[in-house]
C-alpha cells in the first residue's frame, strides 16, 4: 500500500505521519508537496496537522485551494481512503469533503494533552482493529478543535453512524463531543486527535497504531476481493 503525506507550507506533523506509516506498517510512504496536481498513483492520502499557510483567514481555508487539493477531491470521490488529522481535518471541512466547521476551543486556549476517546463506530475502514465502545488514549493539540454543525447535520451523522470518535470529556465544546467523523461513503475520516503520536510505548500510547493497521488491512482485503 502506497501512502501520500501531503505537505503544505506550515505543516508540522508530516514527519510524524511519515514515520508512523514507515515504522508501524512498514509500507511505502512519500511526502507530496502541495504544488503537485496528480495523486492518482497512491493508494491513500494523509493530510497532517500543523498550521497550513499560518492558519490565516481560518484554519485550512487557504490550503483548501492548494493545487494538490483538486486531485485529492477527485480521488476521494472515487473512493480513495483519505485521512485528515487536526489541521488536515480542518482542510477537509473547508473543502466540503466533510460537513461542518471548526471554531475556537470554548475556553479560547490551545489544548495539548493525552485525551481519552470513545470508539463510537468500529465498523469503518479506519477502525476495524478497535472494539466498539472501547476507550483509547490519543493526544490532542489544537486551538480550533470545537466542531460545529447544525442540528439537521448532526442528526444525519448520528443516524448514519458517521461519528467515529467522541471525547469522553468536554475539552473544547465540540457538538456531541465529536472528535472524528466520516463522509457518507466512509472512505474519508477527519479527526482532531493525533493517532500518529500514539503508535509507540515511548510516546505514551499505542492506541493510534490500530487506526493505521485498520486502513492497511481493509485496503488489502478490498484488493483481494476485487482481483
Give me the residues of the chain with pLDDT under 70, please.
226-227
User: Pick from 109, 108, 165: which is nearest to 135 by CA?
Assistant: 165
Strands 135-142 and 178-182: unpaired
Angle at 126 between CA 124 and CA 131, to 5 degrees: 70
Question: pTM (2 decimals)?
Answer: 0.96
Domain segments of the chain: what residues?
A: 2-226
Report the alpha-carbon distance of residue 218 to residue 59 in Å, rounded. Answer: 31
C-alpha cell at 6: 501531503
Q: Check residue 223 and give its pLDDT.
A: 79
Catalogue the active-site residues.
Answer: 86, 194, 196
Question: Smallest Cα–Cα separation from 126: which of 198, 210, 46, 2?
Answer: 210
Q: How far apart are CA 203 and CA 66, in angstroms?
A: 32
Nearest 5°: the CA angle 200, 76, 161 is: 70
CA-CA-CA-CA torsion sign (48, 50, 61, 161):
positive
108: buried, middle or exposed (CB in 10 Å: 19+, 13-18, 0-12)?
Answer: exposed
What is the chain's length?
Answer: 227
- Conformation bin of residue 132: beta by default, left when phi > 0, alpha when psi is -120 to 50: beta
Q: What's residue 178's pLDDT?
A: 98
Q: What is the pLDDT of residue 71?
A: 98
**Counts of helices then strands in the chain (DSSP H, E):** 5, 11
CATH number of 2-226: 3.40.50.880
pLDDT in tens, 59-103: 999 999 999 999 999 999 999 999 999 999 999 999 999 999 999
Amino acid at each position: 500500500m502506497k501512502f501520500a503525506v501531503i505537505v503544505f507550507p506550515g505543516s508540522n506533523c508530516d514527519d510524524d505521519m511519515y514515520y508512523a506509516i514507515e515504522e508501524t506498517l512498514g509500507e511505502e510512504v512519500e511526502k507530496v508537496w502541495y504544488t503537485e496536481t496528480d495523486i492518482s498513483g497512491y493508494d491513500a492520502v494523509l493530510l497532517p496537522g500543523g498550521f497550513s499557510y499560518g492558519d490565516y483567514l481560518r484554519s485550512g481555508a487557504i490550503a483548501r485551494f492548494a493545487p494538490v487539493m483538486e486531485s485529492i477531491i477527485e480521488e476521494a470521490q472515487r473512493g480513495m481512503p483519505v485521512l485528515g488529522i487536526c489541521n488536515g481535518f480542518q482542510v477537509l471541512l473547508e473543502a466540503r469533503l466533510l460537513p461542518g466547521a471548526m471554531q475556537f476551543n470554548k475556553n479560547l486556549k490551545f489544548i495539548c494533552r493525552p485525551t481519552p476517546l470513545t470508539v463510537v463506530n468500529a465498523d469503518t475502514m479506519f477502525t476495524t482493529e478497535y472494539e466498539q465502545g472501547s476507550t483509547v488514549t490519543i493526544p490532542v493539540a489544537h486551538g480550533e478543535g470545537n466542531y460545529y454543525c447544525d442540528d439537521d447535520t448532526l442528526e444525519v451523522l448520528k443516524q448514519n453512524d458517521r461519528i467515529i470518535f467522541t471525547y469522553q470529556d468536554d475539552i473544547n465544546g465540540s457538538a456531541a463531543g465529536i472528535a472524528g467523523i466520516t463522509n457518507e461513503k466512509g472512505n474519508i475520516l477527519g479527526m482532531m486527535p493525533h493517532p500518529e503520536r500514539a503508535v509507540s510505548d515511548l510516546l505514551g500510547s499505542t492506541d493510534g497504531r490500530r487506526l493505521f493497521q485498520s486502513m492497511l488491512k481493509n485496503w488489502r482485503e478490498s484488493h483481494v476481493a476485487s482481483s
